[in-house]
Amino acid sequence: MASIWLVFVLWIYVNDMIKVNQASSCAKIHTPATKVLAGSPVSVSCSIEDDCLLTKGKNFHVAWKINNHFAPSNLSYQQSNRTYGVIIPSLPVADSFIACAVCEELLENCQIVNGVIVKVGKPPSIPKNLRFSLNLTYPRRFMCQWDPVQEMPNLQTTYTLNIFRPEDDQYDQYVIPSINHFYPIPVEYYGLYSEMEINVTAMNVFGNTTSETLKLKPMDTAMFNPPEIKNIEADVVGCLNYSWGIESLGWLMESLCVELRVKTVNNQLIKDLVLPCKQQDKINVCDLSHGTIYITTMRVKYSASSKWSKWSEWSDLKKATTLMKAPTGSLDTWLKVNDQTAQLYWKPSEDFSANGWNLSYTVESKQLKTTLCFTRKNHCFFNLNKLVQEVYLRATSAMGSSNHTKVRVYRERGLGSVSNFSVHPQSETSVRITWGRPVSPRVTGYVLEWRLLCETPEALLSFTLMDKNNFSNTVTGLRPYKPYEISIYPKYVDGIGHPQTLMAYSSQKAPSVAPYLNVTEISHSYIKLHWDEIPLEQRNGIIQGYTIFFWNERDKIKVITTEQTSIEVRDLQPLTTYHALLTVHTMGGSLNGSFVTLATGKIDGIEMVLFIIPACIGLSLLVIIVVFACVGKNERVKMCLWPIIPDPANSSIKGWTDSDSSQGMPHFKEDMEPVLAYLSDFSLIDLAENAPFKSDYVKENQWSHNIDSHDESHRSFQTRVIYDTEHDKDSIPYATVVFGGPYQNHSSSPPAYVRSESTQPLLRPDDPGSPPPYENLLPSTSVSQVQHFTALAQKFTESEENEELWDDFPMLRSLEIRNTDHI
């Protein structure tokens, strides 16, 4: 099977080779240029040979392909019998393959017979930034440089340097490889002061471009080494003489321009002199301060007018001091008096000139004719007699002393202060200070003072004096992230006003360190936390406050914001682990502090006692109050809580009276069912009977309401139940008798009888120990008074069928009044 596949593949390969050989000998292709500019049209022609096997005896036509894609048919044409051509307006890519194909039918079964590769491109870009530099040190070089152009892939670009000298009409060209973008011109052939015209040409197969032409002298582009200040002399007051030179280029010094920069030792620029060219080797600079140390540096260039001439690097610094003389001018002073102690500060005023160095200062009192202070600093502290009204300050050097500066002593202090005093940062090293006019119109000026707070030893005080119409000032030269104490004093005719003081920062950021959380007290329900304040030098701003994040695994995070350095967290759960995180804030940022984990304790014995004792006392007070209330309402409370249930075995009906109260029974609402009285023994007593009872305890129950006695239909009975107290515990209700009198006006009719829930067997008249049978009374009143009792019996006697009911209640049977005539 494998041999069959191999034979098949070989057959295909041989067949293709035959077709290629036939096609390669079928046509010749021609184009005027194989390299064309981008956007230019391309013309290609194809001539079909007479012996081409693809066309013999066949109808065919020629088609064109560009990069294996058929070209539009309207671009092709037929030049002669067997010559065909195509004109392509523009090619899309840099390299394009244009092929001639013979087709038997339309665009099917086409065979490429020949082809050509046409390259498309453009000339290089124009060289830019052409520059020159002349190095006069040995060996001398005149270097020409430019920026490289953007080259096409696989396309080489060459450069040509063109130099034309108009003086002798000389034109030179230097061909430069494409990898180089500079060329050292042999300066000895052209001279240093000859005018030249120079440009650069870039070239490739598609064309060339030329840079702009520059006109210059080689010397204009000379780059010199820094000059050397050899010597400085102070031979005249206020003047310095400089001697300078350039190594190995002494012949050029008279042609060079010089720039001289003079500064004081505190980096204050005094003079920046650009001296005219063609200077001598000595330069004289005057109008300098007396006895002042100056730092000088210099640099040179060839021409002041040529744009090609460049300054050299600055020379090394040199120090020199002008001649001294006595100080001149006055000093600005600020005197602060506290009782007999004085603090005097001073600084140079605008018209003061030291004219030397190593100045000393003397504070004197002409009244006391004594020297109060002598120092080399800019401040002095001394004791001041109350009689002294003025002191005098003078500066002294080796050449003499300045005039005295009078300082008035203001002893009255605490006058009105300024209003609306505020400080606003303006930059990292400056602040803007504003204030309002005091109430008093006698203000003569203001003193603004400031000092750094976090230096050890204490920083010196700085101050400035301002007139009365000035209400703002900008203080510069401050250190960022450092605290300053700034005060403003109003000056009056006869004293100094009360100061307004603020602490301010020119710029702020987050503190450098954060405080550490300390647990000062911990309990089962609260925690007290404390932290120390951040040191002043590490705050980096004004502390705006602290934020404490407090949480455990179950509760939400509790966020506490405070400006204090301690907090107390309450309402915690005992035996619970909590976490706390402290964050400190300034206007410039925040910093997370310490993170602590802590656990609450359990309730100890003392805390338990302290909790239980008040609870017991409160409960005891409540019990006492309830007892007293019950004692005060003994009968009512007792009947509400323990209603009396008569003992059927030891009870009897004593009598009915209208005056007996309902004492001993609870009150009921009108919509409740009638009260059921549980009786075991009844006896009808004559109302006129006044015999005393022998019972140990008598309880009265009122079973009727106040009903009009004249209405016989609503007459009621009242009963008095008597039972022995010794049988209370064992007494059991026997039967329930419903009295109809008091409830006849009720909307619901009373039940015929209510069966008792007692388990005691019914008492029979013949049972031993049973109470004597009930008997009817013969009251002095009419029989209608007891009709309420007979009504129930009459209801049951209306039919013989009710006879069975009396068998269930033998005691009620005894109550039946059968013969009213007997009464």
Instruction: Please tell me the predicted confidence (pLDDT) of residue 93.
Output: 67
Residues 101/84, Cβ–Cβ less than 8 Å: no
Domain 517-600, what architecture?
Sandwich (2.60)
Pairing of strands 170-176, 472-475: unpaired
Give 279-326 pLDDT, tens digit per residue.
Answer: 567 888 888 888 888 899 998 888 777 777 888 889 999 999 888 888
CATH classification number, 413-504, choose in 2.60.40.10, 3.40.190.10, 3.30.590.10, 2.40.30.110: 2.60.40.10
pLDDT-derived band at 377, boundaries 50, 70, 90: very high
**How high is the pLDDT of residue 684?**
44
Of 378-392, 409-423, 485-499, 672-686, the poorest mean pLDDT is in 672-686
Q: Is the pLDDT of residue 164 over 70?
A: yes
What confidence score (pLDDT) does residue 729 get?
41
Q: Indicate the pLDDT class of residue 334, thresholds 50, 70 and 90.
A: very high
Contact of 539 with 483, CB cutoff 8 Å: yes
Higher pLDDT, 554 or 719: 554
Query: Who has greater pLDDT, 350 or 672?
Result: 350
Domains 128-221 and 517-600 share a fold: yes
3-state secondary structure (DSSP) of residue 189 = helix
State the CATH class of domain 128-221: mainly beta
Give the CATH number of domain 224-322: 2.60.40.10
CA distance 698 to 720: 8
Q: What is the pLDDT of residue 687?
A: 42
- Please give the Cα distance from 497 to 490 (Å, whole number): 5
Quick one: pLDDT at residue 743? 39
Among the listed residues 532, 530, 518, the one whose alpha carbon sits nearest the alpha carbon of residue 598: 518
Give the per-residue pLDDT at 4.
Answer: 58
Q: How far apart are CA 649 and CA 609, in angstroms?
A: 55
Question: What pLDDT digit, counting tens, does each position of 239-273 carry?
Answer: 999 988 887 666 665 677 888 888 887 777 777 77
Give strand pairing partners of 63: 101
What is the residue-averaged pLDDT of the chain? 76
The percentage of the chain sitting over the pLDDT mark of 70, rounded to a whole number, equals 70
Higher pLDDT residue, 139 or 716? 139
Quick: pLDDT tens for 21-49.
444 558 888 888 888 888 888 889 999 88
pLDDT at 311: 86
- Can you name the CATH fold of 331-408? Immunoglobulin-like (2.60.40)
Bridge partners of residue 546, in order along the sequence: 562, 584
Q: Are 261 and 278 in contact (CB under 8 A)?
A: no
- Mean pLDDT across 704-724: 39
pLDDT at 699: 37
Q: Of 354-358, 571-575, 729-733, which has the strongest mean pLDDT?
A: 571-575
Higher pLDDT, 108 or 309: 309
Helix, coil or strand: residue 194: coil
Opening angle at CA 632, ends 630 and 633, nearest 5: 65
Cis ω before 692 (30° cut-off from 0): no
Question: Is pLDDT of 719 > 50?
Answer: no
Q: What is the 3-state secondary structure (H, E, C) of 391-452?
A: EEEEEEECCEECCCEEEECCCEEEECCCEEEEEEEEECCEEEEEEECCCCCCEEEEEEEEEE
Average pLDDT over residues 77-98: 84
- pLDDT for 396 beyond 90: yes
Is pLDDT above 80 for 385?
A: yes
Residue 9 has pLDDT above 70, yes or no: no
164-178, 226-240, 423-437: the lowest-pLDDT one: 164-178
pLDDT at 419 over 90: yes
Q: What pLDDT digit, counting tens, does each position of 602-661 carry?
A: 776 666 666 678 888 888 888 888 777 777 666 666 667 667 666 666 665 544 444 444
Model confidence at 697: pLDDT above 70: no
Which one-letter DSSP state was computed for residue 288?
A: P
Q: What integer pLDDT is reported at residue 360 of this predicted model? A: 94
Q: Looking at the domain 24-121, which fold is it?
A: Immunoglobulin-like (2.60.40)
C-alpha span between 587 and 198 (Å, rounded): 62
Residue 736 has pLDDT above 60, yes or no: no
d(CA 263, CA 557): 62
- Amino acid 528: pLDDT: 93
By the 8 A CB rule, do 687 and 622 touch? no
DSSP type of residue 126: P
**What single-letter amino acid sits at 68?**
N
* pLDDT beyond 50 at 740: no
- Give residue 694's pLDDT band: very low, low, confident or very high (50, 70, 90): very low
Give the percent of the chain with pLDDT over 90.
Answer: 26
How high is the pLDDT of residue 713?
40
| Least confident segment among 23-27, 76-80, 311-315, 381-385 | 23-27
Cis peptide before 773 (omega within 30 of 0): no
Sign of CA dihedral 814, 820, 821, 822: positive
Q: What is the mean pLDDT of residues 531-551?
A: 93
The mean pLDDT value for 555-562 works out to: 90
The predicted pLDDT at position 668 comes to: 44
Q: Where does the pLDDT of residue 764 fall: very low under 50, low under 70, confident under 90, or very high at 90 and above? A: very low
> Domain boundaries in the chain?
24-121, 128-221, 224-322, 331-408, 413-504, 517-600
The 10s digit of each residue's pLDDT in 465-490 is 999 999 999 999 999 999 999 999 99
* 440 compared with 756, residue with greater pLDDT: 440
**pLDDT at res. 19:** 45
| Six-digit token string for 99 | 């092929």
790 pLDDT band (50/70/90 cuts)? very low
Q: Residue 511 pLDDT more than 80? A: yes
